[in-house]
Amino acid sequence: MDIRYRIEGGVALRGDVTVSGSKNAALPLIAASLLCSGETVLNNVPFLRDVKALLEILEFLGAETSFQEGTVRIRTNNVQSKPIPAEFVSKLRGSIVLLGPLLARFGVVEMAYPGGCVLGKRPIEAHIAALRQLGAQDMSHDETLHFQGQLKAGRIVLPEFSVTATENAIMAAALLPGETQIDMAAAEPHVQELCKMMQSMGAQVEGIGTHTIKISGRPDLGCPIHRIPSDYLEIGALAVAAMVTKGKIRLHDVEYDHMISFLNALTRMGVVWQYEEAERVLFVDGEISSLRPTRIQTNIFPGFPTDLLPPLGVAMTQANGVSRIFEMLFEGRMAYLYELEKMGAHIEILNSHQALVIGPTKLRGQTVASNDIRAGVAMVIAGLCAEGETTVTDVRYIERGYDHLDDKLRSLGARIEKIETS
């Protein structure tokens, strides 16, 4: 089925919207349910293709799952570790987070190599290094990841600040008696949330939010009830949509600590915004903002998140001057800039990691593609501020990462229509 968005640009977004739960937090927390035997309950879960795909994998492994009105229930009493075929993992890169919990609980894990968005090479050496340092035997070959062995608590030094490798190490360590120290750990908000869930399951965790995490695990973790935090990537995308359409919106259920680098970037760009701490509401006033050029360099948390660079790249096309992009993490992240050029943006791509965006330019409606999840939402934002009609193709990418995005935008006044053809 071909799914597209048709957007009529030029409407200033106005109103209030409540942000959905974070996909990047939901996937490892769902995987963590494998660490216990019983029922795990997760609330505020976003209704996304990736979430449903991961639940299907858990069902293949023997779990019973249900998903109703934002609540996921996972019963893992009858789960077993068995080879997971490519049909389940080829379109879900996030399935890599099954390695740690399955190996720690059952002593063996085997799965086809995960797939996902095309963002350039995303190696798994950090995962292999983490599991080996806990005592796993690596029996993988060209088409299959395969680890086995009785893991033991110890010290892990990751070769890079990998989010998913950190999550695999945390989950594996939580089930092992004794203390495990993880150095070079990622500190992103979803990693912090996983640590908090491990605590609620009975493990002791120190160093949450730092690059050194210590975990005292136990082999009889309890099954928790846990709430998925709001998605700071959705917050950022909607904030940028308000900026470029000269709208005014209030975003509810916003964690300020997750947004600091992004909000600092908005301040440098001349965006008028206000955070109401008591109500956890972010107000963005694009109507009175005058966008200035800036330089953005992505980095590990608490640096500027790579997944918010494509939306901000659209805002740069409306800023008065030359903005500079430096993408440190993925060599394939720049593809969306070619789509923006189709719409009239003035962009100079210097190499696979750096580009100049010269503004302001009037964007014109065109047919553009979603090259990946975050590029897709950037194209939607571009369509919202462009003259005329924009068609965004490959919406399946967007629906992997954003919960009912078109409905939320319509509630703010956007003229956006979802078109499905066989």
What is the pLDDT, as a whole number, of residue 124?
Answer: 85
The total domain count for the chain is 2
Q: What span, in angstroms and rounded, lies between the C-alpha atoms of 232 and 245?
A: 20
- pTM of the predicted model, to two decimals? 0.94
- Looking at the DSSP bridge assignments, the partners of residue 313 are none
**Residue 385 appears among annotated catalytic residues:** no
**Of 36, 117, 195, 223, which residue is the catalytic one?**
117
DSSP 102-155: HHHHHSEEEEEPP-----S----HHHHHHHHHTT-EE--BTTEEEEES-----E
CB atoms near residue 88 (< 10 Å): 21
Residue 214 and residue 116 share a domain:
yes
What is the pLDDT, as a whole number, of residue 349?
Answer: 94
What is the pLDDT, as a whole number, of residue 336?
Answer: 92
Domain hosting 189: range is 23-227
Residue 166 and residue 242 share a domain:
no
- Looking at the DSSP bridge assignments, the partners of residue 65 are 74
- Looking at the DSSP bridge assignments, the partners of residue 7 are 390, 416
What is the pLDDT, as a whole number, of residue 58?
Answer: 98
What is the pLDDT, as a whole number, of residue 118?
Answer: 41
Out of 170, 192, 227, a domain closes at: 227
Residue 188 and residue 311 share a domain:
no
Q: What are phi and psi of 116, to 5 degrees?
A: 140, -155
Residue 335 and residue 254 share a domain:
yes
- CATH code of the domain in which 324 resides: 3.65.10.10
Residue 177 and residue 108 share a domain:
yes
- Angle (CA) 187-188-193 rounded to 5° is 95
Residue 205 and residue 118 share a domain:
yes
Q: What span, in angstroms and rounded, lies between the C-alpha atoms of 81 and 61?
A: 6
Residue 339 and residue 251 share a domain:
yes
Q: What span, in angstroms and rounded, lies between the C-alpha atoms of 116 and 108?
A: 24
CB atoms near residue 351 (< 10 Å): 9
Residue 238 and residue 126 share a domain:
no
Token look-up 């965790």 returns 205
Residue 274 and residue 413 share a domain:
yes
Residue 287 and residue 222 share a domain:
no
Out of 227, 259, 290, a domain closes at: 227
Residue 379 and residue 244 share a domain:
yes
Out of 189, 206, 227, a domain closes at: 227
Closest CA to 308 of 228, 377, 229: 377
Give every residue of the chain whose pLDDT is below 50, as ranges: 116-122
What is the pLDDT, as a whole number, of residue 117?
Answer: 42
- Helix residue ranges, H only, 246-358: 260-268, 309-316, 335-342
Residue 297 and residue 234 share a domain:
yes
